Amino acid sequence: MKSISITLLCLLLSSLTIQLDGGAASIEDTCKAAAAASPVINYDFCVSTFLGNPKSGSADTRGLAKIAALTAINHASNIKIEITDLLKKSPDPAIKSALNQCFRLYDSMSFTLANAADAINADRDEAAKGFLKTGIQEAEDCAAALEKAGKASPLTKGNSDSVELSTMSLAILDLIAKKPSDHDDMMIRAVLV
Amino acid sequence: MDYAPIPSSPSSRPPHRSLKLLSFSLAAILLTIVAVLNGRYRSGTSPEPVIHPTSPLSRGPSDGVSEKTSGLGLLRSPSSHFPWTNTMLQWQRTAFHFQPQKNWMNGFLPSSSSLFFLFSNRFYRSLMFCCLFVSLARISMDPDPNGPVFYKGWYHLFYQYNPDSAVWGNITWGHAVSRDLIHWRHLPLAMVADHWYDLNGVWTGSATILPDGNLIMLYTGSTNESVQVQNLAVPSDPSDPLLLKWIKSDANPVLLPPPGVGPKDFRDPTTAWYEEEAAAWRLAIGTKEDEGHSGIVLVYQTKDFLTYELLPGMLHAVAGTGMWECVDFYPVGTKAEDGGLDTSVTTGEKVKHVLKASMDDDRHDYYAIGTYDSETARWVPDDPEMDVGIGLRYDWGKFYASKTFYDTKSSRRVLWGWIGETDSEYADIQKGWASLQGIPRTVLLDVKTGSNLLQWPVEEVKSLRAGSQEFTNISVSSGSVVPLDVLNSAAQLDIEAEFEIDAASLAETLEADVGYNCSTSGGANRRGALGPFGLLVLADPKLSEQTAVYFYIAKKTDGGLQTHFCHDEMQSSCANDIYKRVVGSKVPVLDGETLTVRILVDHSIVESFAQGGRTCITSRVYPTEAIYNSARVFIFNNATGARVTAKSIKIWHMNSANIIDSRSPY
């Protein structure tokens, strides 16, 4: 019983502090908190990512986590195109093989991150975090494959951006764990679809 | 005719195991506690329709779909989405709506069936990827309509397009042309993000035709620093009726956010209208003002579209409605014979003005009818209680970012709207596309009521009608379902139906039912004295899936009647990873009128228009059983105290309007 009352007390206290928030989450505050939570996340990159999406303006914290995941999906599509171009230019079979592996990884990542976005929508945060971690692993596996092929990776920035976007989504979900009030805003997320 | 009783509950997926039920209950209790403690609700938003969470809260991979069932390769992570098959997903593509092109790959343009086979089969994917054509699988999403215009014999539609992904991003202007608003030809991208002032996106804009017949386009660019600015673009060759290429003005950006307006709150310029008195053009841009969380509209005046003057004050504002996107502002005639009006018609008692905006907060499009005063550049609603953002919507379902244009060929005002998906992100990635445009609609003032618009599918839609059936005077007793013997597939239909409820039932003293609201009503299975009744479309023979389009007549305390018109999507699909809602609104029914509805069914989209277009609803539905030859149509009457007569139901099968891709080499 004691642990339940403590939990309820914590929820009560955090909900009281959250009363001060408006409906939409502040991009700057969210990015500040996310950057503080993870060394992978750069504040400016985080802010500019959200500013680049017109839906961020009215999104709550959960909505921002979803936008980060969707941005990562779009980024994965861009990387696939980049890989296609690189494959045309590169004669080296070792690099080609690594690039093909990267293509498969980024293709899979689109589905992984789509699962993450759907899980975020459904308030299945633990599942979402699992998918995001898998997405991060897929980018890291690509980086490792290219490193093994021995040449300087042409996808370094692409891979690190991918990791950063997925990490942003993860970190923001962790912020929500401390702010249960956002559970009320399922309506907003639903219509963001 | 078989009069079968309505099944009391739909067939559903196998029941949850008790452990899942327990964890769901515990989570629900905890959430309820949190909600009670918090007690915070957003202000200023209209009550949201009931959204049923489609997946239970704690469904782990062991309960989810096996990888084999979904046909996914081992590279993909386990998930708990519905096991969509390629057959089901392919069926969802519409036949006569404008939607983004299908996937294509370097070197060949496969049919969609081979494409899905290739993507679903791991061996073939590996083969493709290691070989010559590492695929440039282009998947796409297609939201907001932009710059619709009729120019030199062609209807043009531009649209926000991501050529690379089925999620938002890399926004460019897609482009397509048509002779008849129905048969489209894709053209190359009209504009891409290639200047600092639109580097983060070539966003929404509008076309204005000048008196000399020339065309200018004003659009919002998101700059390299994500500031929203307005830019001018003109056709590089005005004599080219296809308007293939565009030049962006050297003067760009021509408009920056003015003082007091946030850099992220300044977008979607309207078509300009000409003011005789001022001998200048005016256009409107929506924004917001933080203090009252008001949506507001600014008006700019210009003679050359290069330099602008911000007029003092605002065209209009409504407190509590938040940011207004995709503002539209246009005149409507007040007499039946008026037809559509050119945007520049401003004066006269015979003209009203419609102000419309897309509410960023609740993702719905609202309009209001009022009066515009040129001298003060102000607009006032006829009924402040039905003001923009708090009153009528163009459409009570899935419909956003809409925009009208004046069609000079047929002298009518035509409305385009973006219809998004209500399925999962996963399914969108799997099927490779997302979003479409609603069927274009003509817009007129309803001169009989004077207080709402009438929207109706453009006449050209009828050119797709092929083979009709008519059913007349079908009496549907209380609590029954009548199957209609629709020949061939019922996935592409144009239906016109007329209903009458028996006079005796209406006259009886029944309890008032003032609280009825489509969204909270519980849908087609919640029985009242005088409703629900209507049609079930995309229904399989067992009725395990059905989309209900229905009327509900409620008695008011003064004994009068209030008719509601709704879509019930709750049983539209057995899948549980999609959004299913009951949506709709009241519909005015005048003395002597029967109840009429027109329904366009086109695979995963159902659009209906009640009472000649007074109340319109768009639903996206994703059936798993009621597809291909299993789709049927039924009439139903779930009223407890009334017999309903379907006086006439005409059903046309609709041909497909194949979209031609002029970008492909084949």
B8 has pLDDT over 80:
no
Find the residue in A nearest to B265 (Cα).
A57
- Classified as helix, coil or strand, B75 is coil
Range 529-588 of B in CB contact (< 8 A) with A: 577, 579
Q: For the residues B580-594, what does the mean pLDDT come to? A: 96
Residue B119 has pLDDT above 80, yes or no: no
Q: What is the pLDDT of residues B171-184, one digit of tens each?
A: 899 999 999 999 99
- What pLDDT score does B135 carry? 32
Across the range B245-262, mean pLDDT stands at 97
- Please tell me if residue A134 touches chain B, with a CB cutoff of 8 Å: yes
Q: Please state the rounded mean pLDDT for residues B355-376.
A: 96
Nearest alpha carbon to residue B236 among B251, B255, B218, B249: B249
**Over 90: is that where the pLDDT of B7 sits?**
no
Residue A62: both structure tokens together: 């959960």
Given a contact cutoff of 8 angstroms between Cβ atoms, the answer to whether B373 and B282 are in contact is: no
Q: Which of A148-152, B63-67, B291-295, B444-448 has the highest mean pLDDT?
A: B444-448
H or E stretch covering B443: strand B441-445
Interface test with B, best of A107, A166, A179 (most B CBs within 10 A): A107
Q: B23, B29, B33, B34: which to substitute to probe chain A, counting the most A Cβ within 10 Å?
A: B34
* Helix/strand/coil (H/E/C) assignment for every residue in B337-383: HHCCCCCCCCCCCCEEEEEEEEECCCCEEEEEEEEEECCCCEEEECC
Q: Mean pLDDT throughout B640-653? A: 95
Instruction: Provide the pLDDT confidence category of residue A7 given band limits of 50, 70 and 90.
Output: low
Alpha-carbon distance of B379 to B358, in angstroms, equals 17
Q: Is the pLDDT of residue B127 over 60?
A: no
- Yes or no, beta carbons of A54 and B430 under 8 Å apart: no
- pLDDT of B663: 61
Residues of A in contact with B139 (CB under 8 A): 77
Cβ-in-10-Å burial (0-12, 13-18, 19+) of B220 comes to buried
Of the candidates B352, B462, B458, B361, the one whose C-alpha atom is nearest the C-alpha of residue B405 is B458
Check if the beta carbon of residue B619 is closer than 8 Å to that of residue B423.
no
Q: DSSP secondary-structure letter at B439?
A: P
Q: What is the pLDDT of residue A157?
A: 94
Q: Is A193 a residue whose pLDDT tops 60? A: no
**Statement: residue B128 has pLDDT above 70:** no
Nearest-CA distance A95 → chain B (Å): 12
Average of pLDDT values for B206-222? 96
pLDDT at B14: 45
Reported ipTM: the value is 0.83
**pLDDT category, B46, cuts 50, 70, 90?**
very low
Packing angle of the helix pair A93-121, A156-177 (nearest 10 deg): 20
- The reported pLDDT for the residue numbered A187 is 46
- Mean pLDDT over all residues of chain A? 85
* Residues 6 or more apart in contact with residue B116 via CB below 8 angstroms: B86, B89, B90
Taking the model in full, what pTM does it have?
Answer: 0.84
Residue B596 and residue B593: Cα distance in Å, rounded? 9
The model's confidence at residue A4, banded by pLDDT at 50, 70 and 90, is low
Write out chain B residues lying below 8 Å of A71, CB-based.
169
Q: Are B421 and B401 in contact (CB under 8 A)?
A: no
The answer on pLDDT for B80 being more than 70 is no
Among A125-129, A146-150, A159-163, B107-111, which is the least confidently predicted range?
B107-111
What is the model's pLDDT at position B26? 58
Note the pLDDT of residue B139: 56
Task: Answer whether A5 touches B (CB < 8 Å).
Answer: no
- Report the residue of chain B nearest A67, measured CA to CA: B168
Cα gap B533→B554, rounded to integer Å: 12
Q: For B340-351, what is the mean pLDDT? A: 83
Average pLDDT, chain B: 84
Angle at B554 between CA B553 and CA B559, to 5 degrees: 120
Give, for B29, the enclosing helix (H) or strand (E): helix B18-38
* Chain A hits for B54, Cβ within 8 Å: 122
- Per-residue pLDDT averaged across B297-302, rounded? 98
**Has residue B364 got a pLDDT over 50?**
yes
B144 is catalytic: yes
pLDDT tens, residue by residue, B456-493: 999 999 999 998 999 999 999 999 999 999 877 799 99
For residue A132, which residues of chain B lie inside 8 Å, CB to CB?
Answer: none
* pLDDT on residue B487: 76
DSSP single-letter state for residue B200: T
Give the pLDDT confidence score for residue B56 in this predicted structure.
30
Residue A111 has pLDDT above 50, yes or no: yes
B2, B142, B144, B494: which is the annotated catalytic residue? B144
Kindly state whether B1 is in contact with chain A, defined as any CB-CB distance less than 8 angstroms: no
For an interface test with B, the pick among A16, A21, A77, A104 (most B C-beta atoms closer than 10 Å) comes out as A77
pLDDT for position B360: 92
Nearest by CB to residue A193, choosing from B129, B164, B421, is B421
* Dihedral of the alpha carbons of B403, B405, B411, B413, in degrees to the nearest 10: 20
What is the tens place of the pLDDT at every residue in B597-629?
Answer: 999 999 999 999 999 999 999 999 999 999 999
**What are the structure tokens assigned to B83, written together?**
């096991």
Give the closest residue to B395 by CA, choosing from B374, B410, B416, B412. Answer: B416
Asked if A184's CB is within 8 angstroms of B41's CB, the reply is yes
Query: Given CB atoms, is A26 within the 8 Å cutoff of chain B?
Result: no
Under the banding of pLDDT at 50, 70 and 90, the label for residue B306 is very high
- What is the CA angle B220-B177-B442, rounded to 5? 80
Averaged pLDDT for residues A44-69: 93
Q: What does the pLDDT average to over A114-141?
A: 96
Banded pLDDT at B336 (limits 50, 70, 90): confident
Inter-chain touch A103–B577, beta carbons under 8 Å: no
Q: What pLDDT shows up at residue A184?
A: 45
Indicate left, alpha or beta for A157 from its phi (over 0: left) and psi (-120 to 50: alpha): alpha
Q: Does B361 lie at the interface with A, CB-CB under 8 angstroms?
A: yes
Specify the higher pLDDT residue, B40 or B159.
B159
Q: Which of B170, B264, B265 sits opposite A78 (nearest CB)?
A: B170
Poorest-confidence range of A172-181, B242-251, B326-335?
A172-181
Measure the N-to-C terminal CA separation of chain A; round to a whole number of Å: 40
Q: Within B563-605, where are the H helices?
A: none
Q: How many Å apart are CA B600 and CA B416, to the nearest integer? A: 16
Specify the DSSP element, H or E, that contains A166. Answer: helix A156-177
Nearest CA in chain B to A105: B75
pLDDT surpassing 90 at residue A23: no
pLDDT at B504: 80
**Is B55 within 8 Å of A122 when comparing Cβ atoms?**
yes
A108 in contact with chain B, both atoms CB, cutoff 8 A:
yes
Distance from C-alpha of B156 to C-alpha of B56, rounded to nearest angstrom: 45
Query: What pLDDT sits at residue B509?
Result: 62
CA B310 – CA B255 distance, rounded (Å): 10
Contact B200 A131 (CB under 8 A): no
Residues of A in contact with B137 (CB under 8 A): 80
Q: How far is A174 from chain B (nearest CA, A)?
A: 17
User: What is the arithmetic mean of pLDDT over A53-64?
Assistant: 91
Higher pLDDT, B101 or B573: B573
Share of residues in chain B with pLDDT > 70 (%): 81
Taking Cα atoms as reference points, which of B461, B453, B475, B486 lies closest to residue B633?
Answer: B486
Selecting from A74, A84, A183 the residue whose C-beta is nearest the C-beta of B34 gives A183
Residue from the list A115, A134, A183 with its beta carbon closest to the beta carbon of B426: A115
**Four-residue CA torsion sign, B199, B204, B209, B213:** positive
